């Protein structure tokens, strides 16, 4: 399985890959470099690359629960500066842009972004699919429930069937528009209860019927720290454990804050499966 990230480059997904989170927001729930100097930003990006990041995912508008999105103008001001810096210093890096706004995606692609990562799956901006189709880039399609499904529904397959239906409908639309490379993200933490998040993680392999790469973004999220009565800073071990479960169930890309830990998990997973 491969992603065509540019006219002459392919990302081979036959082995799992790591997407490093590069936040240039001012209010993310964990790490954020929005108020840092250019030197600090580039130093952190260099570290992620040195530790084995396969993709850099730059976000300039926080989508954490309870946050108020910045304006498109402010998002682009933050994003464009970071994107130009990273592109000039790391020209060979595969760069994803985390945005739900089509105008921001359009401008980012013109500046050299390779992938669009839309946490709302096109539901917040009906021009997004058109932008992605026009530029012919991979698109991360996220299942983001606007409101949590009732608790009683978790005893059945409601959450899973709703997610599958969403992905199938959106894949049909995107493929008809000519978007060949679509990555599926179950959207852990977006409009789902803790129990629903774990139900999706447990049965992640159900997405294999859609024949598309799977991205998992669980890193330090509330589904980990709430049951443990901990903070995001304290749940790196839980993040590694959850990522390993995701790998066992077919994840192709891990979106993480901690690149080295994710690469180690992938190495152990790969070695174990070579022995079988």
Q: Which of 221, 226, 263, 274 is catalytic?
A: 221
Model confidence, pTM: 0.89
Along the 276 residues of the chain, how does pLDDT read in single tens digits?
Answer: 888 887 778 888 989 999 999 988 765 544 555 556 788 889 899 999 999 999 999 988 777 666 677 788 888 888 888 999 999 999 999 999 999 999 999 999 999 999 999 989 998 899 999 999 999 999 999 998 654 555 555 444 677 888 899 999 999 999 999 999 999 999 998 878 888 899 999 999 999 999 999 999 999 988 999 999 999 899 999 999 999 999 999 999 999 999 999 999 999 999 998 775
Burial of 63: CB neighbours in 10 Å, binned 0-12, 13-18, 19+: buried
**Which pLDDT value is given to residue 206?**
93
| Tokens linked to 221 | 């999220």
Q: Rounded to the nearest 5°, which phi and psi values hold at 56? A: -105, 125
**Which pLDDT value is given to residue 149?**
53
Tell which residue, 210, 156, 155, has the closest CA to residue 186.
Answer: 210
Examine the residue annotation and report whether 255 is marked as an active-site residue of this protein.
yes
Pairing of strands 2-6, 139-142: unpaired
**Which pLDDT value is given to residue 156?**
45
Q: Which of 170, 249, 255, 263 is catalytic?
A: 255
Examine the residue annotation and report whether 92 is marked as an active-site residue of this protein.
no
């Amino acid at each position: 399985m491969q992603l065509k990230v540019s006219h002459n480059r392919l990302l081979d997904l036959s082995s799992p890959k790591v997407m490093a989170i590069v936040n240039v927001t001012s209010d993310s729930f964990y790490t954020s470099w929005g108020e840092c100097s250019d030197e600090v930003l580039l130093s952190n990006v260099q570290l992620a690359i040195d530790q084995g990041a396969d993709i850099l995912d730059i976000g300039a508008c926080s989508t954490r629960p309870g946050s108020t999105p910045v304006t498109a103008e402010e998002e682009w001001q933050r994003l464009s500066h970071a994107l130009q810096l990273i592109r000039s210093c790391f020209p060979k890096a595969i760069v994803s842009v985390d945005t739900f706004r089509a105008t921001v995606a359009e401008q980012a692609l013109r500046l050299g972004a390779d992938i669009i990562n839309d946490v709302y799956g096109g539901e917040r901006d009906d021009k997004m699919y058109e932008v992605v189709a026009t530029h012919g880039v991979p698109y991360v399609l996220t299942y983001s429930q606007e409101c949590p499904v009732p608790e009683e529904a978790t005893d059945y397959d409601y959450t899973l069937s709703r997610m599958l239906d969403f992905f199938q409908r959106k894949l049909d639309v995107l493929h008809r528009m000519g978007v060949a490379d679509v990555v599926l993200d179950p959207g852990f933490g977006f409009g789902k209860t803790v129990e629903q998040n774990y139900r999706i993680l447990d049965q992640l392999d159900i997405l294999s019927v859609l024949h598309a790469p799977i991205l998992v973004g669980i890193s330090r999220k509330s589904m980990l720290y709430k049951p443990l009565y901990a903070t995001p800073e304290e749940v790196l071990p839980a993040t590694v454990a959850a990522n390993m479960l995701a790998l066992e169930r077919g994840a192709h890309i891990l979106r993480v804050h901690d690149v080295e830990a994710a690469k180690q998990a992938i190495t152990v997973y790969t070695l174990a499966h070579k022995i079988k």
